[in-house]
Amino acid sequence: RQAAFRTDLSSLLDLVGTGKESLSFMKRRMRRLASQWGTAAQRLHAKLRQRWREQKKILVHVGFLTEESGDVFSPKVLKGGPLGEMVQWADILTALHVLGHNLKISMSVKELQGFLGVPPGRGSCPLTGPLPFDLIYTDYHGMQQMKQHMGLSLKRHKCHIRVIDTFGTEPAYNHEDYATLHGYRTNWGYWNLNSRQYMTMFPHTPDNSFMGFVSEELNDTEKSSIMRNKVNNMAVVYGKEASMWKLQGKEGFLQILHRYMEVHGTVYYETQRPPEVPAYVKNHGLLPQHELQTLLRKAKLFIGFGFPYEGPAPLEAIANGCIYLQPKFHPPHSSLNHEFFRGKPTSREVSSQHPYAEQYIGRPHVMTVDYNNSQEFDSAIREIMSTKVEPYLPYEYTCEGMLERVHAYIEHQDFCTPEAPFPPANSSSKLGLSSSASPGPLFVLLPNSSALTWAPNANAPPAWPPLSSLRLLASQEGQSCVEACQRANLVCEPALFRFVNNREALRGLEVQCEVVEAEVNHVFPAFSVLRRECGLQKDPLLYSCAGLSPKYRRLCPCRDYRRGQVALCRDCL
């Protein structure tokens, strides 16, 4: 069956269920953004020009909202608790519905069992027949539940699973044996999935797929009206829970802010004003999403205090014409030095409260400064008050951008068909580097560039992203492929590692190897200049963009990307 775009959300709203604040929040959001989704569907439909899309059977099992996982989120929806996850799940459900797929939603283990057709009880009665779904979107809690109730059959079907994972999972943490042996084992990771099956809230590491969410979009009339009505000395503080306002160390910069601006907050309170919030702050209490947007339309500045990390609110503020001011973290926060990230399956270094805003948006919409330097802070505030900015939303956070990306993943990502190494192991010694008669891969040196580009050869298996997007680079010692590709204005593409994990790639880069060995090591393929040792990757599960080692220069499969849609290469649609 062909999937047809849907512009009406009513059947989706019926599917979501009732009885919990989290569900009501998600439904309110769906209703509020419905017309925006409808327009986006029409645009993407026109862009794809009648292309055949198969309607997939999709199960969405929201593990963290099940009673069985404790559901600590729902009771806090109206009390300043995290909403970012709910925002994302609401948008994922809407995107899948609008793309026209056949959707089932489960929010309890009982529903999960019903949909999968496994008898109630634990593990002992695994699913014997085929999986009744093409795709299952879930989270880490849902994975645990499926393991408990599907038993060993989970292993057989896991290529159909996508794990919504806010902060991301790096390959070294995902690989069970490797994580156990090398100190990467956490409570969350080690599912031995393909790392691209983890889908994140921001494009953290290209090892995972970037799922994202959406923000409100404005037309030109709304934009100019917002710009006309901006109140230059009005600031809104990012932080809906009183604990985010704990003032140790914050008095200084808050005083400076207060000297120039009227400070507003949206901090949850029950009866009394939270003591953490200074008296001069105009606190509106926690606002419904649309009222927060209205407040942001007037404000000039949205200011972060360092927590929460990497939420949706800064994008909403920037989309409503605010400048987002945030603290730089020096040293960066990570699972190695910060309580919040401890135990998360990633070593990613978080350079500010919102690295996406810092790195992908930047000035004039985003300013990242050292809050301990009062001079720097003071001049940032003055600059913000006198700078005019237009509301801005990166394409990848528009409804059309999200639909385009999710559509591309559904069409092209296949983790069920085993990927053969290329060139095939037994033929590699025969392959020449530049002979056009050669049946093997062919590297061509790009003029004026240190990157090698790939000229796909007729024998190369099809890939997505396609081989035409591949540029091979060597990182510096101690540099990851994430960084090496970024420096060249490209992005690391883990799906293409298998094409550069070979001697031809090493030769193409003119690497001197005395020995070439295949090993299970998350920084391979790589080479040591000093020791003239070269290492290829033995286990494809460990292909890692994030990996780095001071001893090695890495072979990095980089690719181009679309402006405003980093998940997709030019020829990816």
Q: In the complex, which residues of this chain contact ligand U2F (CB under 6 A)?
A: 82-85, 87, 166, 201, 240, 266, 286-287, 289, 292, 308-313, 316
| CB closer to ligand U2F, 324 vs 409 | 324
Based on its alpha-carbon atoms, the radius of gyration of the chain, rounded to whole angstroms, reads: 25
CB of 202 to ligand U2F, least distance (A): 9
Phi–psi pair at 528, nearest 5 degrees: -105, 120
CB of 416 to ligand U2F, least distance (A): 29
DSSP 44: H
Phi–psi pair at 105, nearest 5 degrees: -120, 130
| CB closer to ligand U2F, 106 vs 266 | 266
User: Are the C-beta atoms of residues 167 and 189 closer than 8 Å to each other?
Assistant: no
Q: Is residue 359 classed as helix, strand or coil in its secondary structure?
A: helix
| CB closer to ligand U2F, 166 vs 501 | 166
User: How many helices and strands in the chain, by DSSP H and E?
Assistant: 18, 21
- Name the strand (E) or helix (H) holding 515: strand 515-519
CB of 177 to ligand U2F, least distance (A): 29
| CB closer to ligand U2F, 170 vs 316 | 316
Phi–psi pair at 324, nearest 5 degrees: -100, 120
CB of 83 to ligand U2F, least distance (A): 4
User: Are the C-beta atoms of residues 412 and 54 closer than 8 Å to each other?
Assistant: no
| CB closer to ligand U2F, 153 vs 166 | 166
CB of 399 to ligand U2F, least distance (A): 15
| CB closer to ligand U2F, 66 vs 326 | 326
Dist CA 65 CA 142 (whole Å): 9
User: Are the C-beta atoms of residues 507 and 433 closer than 8 Å to each other?
Assistant: yes
CB of 327 to ligand U2F, least distance (A): 14
CB of 400 to ligand U2F, least distance (A): 19
DSSP 236: E
Q: Which residue is nearest to ligand U2F (CB)?
A: 84
CB of 476 to ligand U2F, least distance (A): 31
CB of 286 to ligand U2F, least distance (A): 4
Q: At what angle do helices 289-298 and 21-48 cross, to 10 degrees?
A: 70
Q: Is residue 120 classed as helix, strand or coil in its secondary structure?
A: coil
| CB closer to ligand U2F, 172 vs 286 | 286
| CB closer to ligand U2F, 85 vs 504 | 85
| Residue whose token pair is 């790639």 | 505
| CB closer to ligand U2F, 300 vs 344 | 344
Dist CA 152 CA 147 (whole Å): 8
CB atoms under 10 Å from CB of 286, counted, come to 20
CB of 3 to ligand U2F, least distance (A): 28
Bridge partners for 519 per DSSP: 537
- Name the strand (E) or helix (H) holding 58: strand 57-61
**Cα 175 from chain centroid?**
20
3-state helix, strand, coil in the chain (%, to 5): 35, 15, 45
| CB closer to ligand U2F, 197 vs 266 | 266
- Name the strand (E) or helix (H) holding 146: helix 140-150
User: Are the C-beta atoms of residues 202 and 210 closer than 8 Å to each other?
Assistant: yes
Amino acid in position 325:
L
CB of 140 to ligand U2F, least distance (A): 13
Closest CA to 292 of 308, 269, 314: 314
Write b or e for each residue in 540-562: b if 16 or more Cβ atoms lie within 10 A of its Cβ, otherwise e: ebbbbbbbbbeebbbbbbbbbbb
Extract the tokens encoding 418: 């085993």
| CB closer to ligand U2F, 33 vs 500 | 33
CB of 214 to ligand U2F, least distance (A): 10
Dist CA 405 CA 162 (whole Å): 14
| Residue whose token pair is 């109140």 | 231
CB of 223 to ligand U2F, least distance (A): 19
User: Are the C-beta atoms of residues 461 and 495 closer than 8 Å to each other?
Assistant: no
CB of 32 to ligand U2F, least distance (A): 10
User: Are the C-beta atoms of residues 138 and 62 closer than 8 Å to each other?
Assistant: yes
Write the DSSP string, 443-499.
EEEPTT-S-EEEE--TTSPP-SS-GGGEEEEEPPTT--HHHHHHHTT-EE-GGGHHH
Closest CA to 97 of 15, 159, 214: 15
| Residue whose token pair is 């001197």 | 512
